[in-house]
Amino acid sequence: MKTLLITGFEPFGGETINPAWEAVKALPEQIGGWQLRKLQIPTVFGLAAARTLACAAECRPDAVLCIGQAGTRSAVTPEYVGINLRHARIADNLGNQPQDEPVVPGGPTAYFATVPVRAMTAAIEAQGIPAAVSYTAGTYVCNDLLYTLLHHYAETLVRAGFIHVPFLPEQAPQGVASMPLAQMIRALEAAVSAL
């Protein structure tokens, strides 16, 4: 059995739930050849990655897959790239609002995710669930986490990736896309199976 560390964020931006954690929490303990280690992490620059890496130091995962909410999207979107930029439109859960700062001073401009992004996307679509490869994880805490993990695990065999999920129906304002929780859970199961 291989170990997958899978994270979901705490609610942020005035929301009371985060679909990412709701979906991660509901996943089975095992998917295919993967044993899951689930972790809820704070929506805070730096701290999200620190908590994830502290957990990884203890559970020694073969892969780390992080899940976050992207409220404006209508599909499940595996992220292709993390960039070395922090720029926040809203404060994080500790009041940090960095403007045009690097994630890692002096670090490379970007890293590509080391999970099979296209295969994961295809596996989700094969379930009849809307999915698309995303080429930007934004410049907020999700990108901060993805970049930090890819930087940390560069030159190692540990794979790291990120998937953004839409709002849940109960969160979405009128006219904004959403996805039922059951569908998100099936999407994540398909993505993990494709790892």
Q: Are 117 and 78 in contact (CB under 8 A)?
A: yes
Member of 47, 142, 163, 192 binding ligand PCA (CB under 6 A): 142
79 assigned to active site: yes
Q: Which residue has the tokens 């790239």?
A: 81
Instruction: Kindly state whether residue 68 participates in binding ligand PCA, applying the rule CB under 6 A.
Output: yes
Q: Point out the catalytic residue in the list 10, 29, 125, 142.
A: 142
Is 140 a binding residue for ligand PCA by CB under 6 A? The answer is: yes
Among candidate residues 133, 143, 31, the one with its CA nearest the CA of residue 6: 31
Site membership for ligand PCA, residue 82 (CB under 6 A): no
Q: Output the CA angle 168-170-174, nearest 5 degrees.
A: 100
12 scored as a contact of ligand PCA (CB under 6 A): yes
Binding mask 19-58 for ligand PCA (x = CB under 6 A): -x----------------------x---------------
Give catalytic status of residue 152 as yes or no: no
**Could you confirm whether 10 is annotated as catalytic?**
no
Q: 24, exposed or middle or buried, with CB in 10 Å at 0-12, 13-18, 19+?
A: buried
d(CA 159, CA 168): 28
